[in-house]
Amino acid sequence: MSFFTTLKTGQRYLKLWPLEPKLGMIFPENRIIRATGFAQKLMPFFAVFAVVWQQIYAKSDIGALAVAVLTAVFALCLPLQGLYWLGKRADTPLSAQSAVWFEKICVLLRQQNEVIMPLNGAPTYLDLAQVLRKTQQKLDRDFWQNL
């Protein structure tokens, strides 16, 4: 899978994953999604600030400009790292225990007459996110308490 496809998958996974507190105890996605969202909002500002700050206080120092540009590039790469991790995670097959849990949730949704798309192999974390999103929309809050 190409780098940009992985980033696009990561962005889709970021938007799809339900940020339930109970899931945060089981999966690291909640922390990564919050950190990536924070970085997407703050790091462009920080990158511009680093270059502007250098231009205000060290106009003629070329070494300071190089450091400011490297700081800006690093700041702009931080959200991409989070999206890349999420994209790779989305395409990772579920562990055996998570796959069993995935099947139990699918059975609960089918009992509620919800349509679950058939899978072409082992379920991935993206499939889990889709099922959890549907669970969040269709099942009551007791499901998350019994988790």
Q: Does residue 125 register a pLDDT over 90?
A: yes
Q: 67 and 83, same structural domain?
A: yes
Q: Considering its fold, how many domains does the chain have in total?
A: 2
Q: Are 116 and 143 in contact (CB under 8 A)?
A: no
pLDDT in tens, 93-121: 999 888 888 888 888 888 887 777 777 78
Model confidence, pTM: 0.86
The reported pLDDT for the residue numbered 126 is 93
Are 107 and 85 members of one domain?
A: no
Tell me: do 71 and 142 sit in the same domain: no
Q: Are residues 24 and 71 in the same domain?
A: yes
Per the prediction, the chain carries an average pLDDT of 89
Owning domain of residue 48 = 1-91
The residue written with tokens 């609960």 in the block is: 108
Distances (CA, A) of 35 to 27, 67, 93, 130: 14, 24, 23, 21
Residue 39, pLDDT > 80, answer: yes
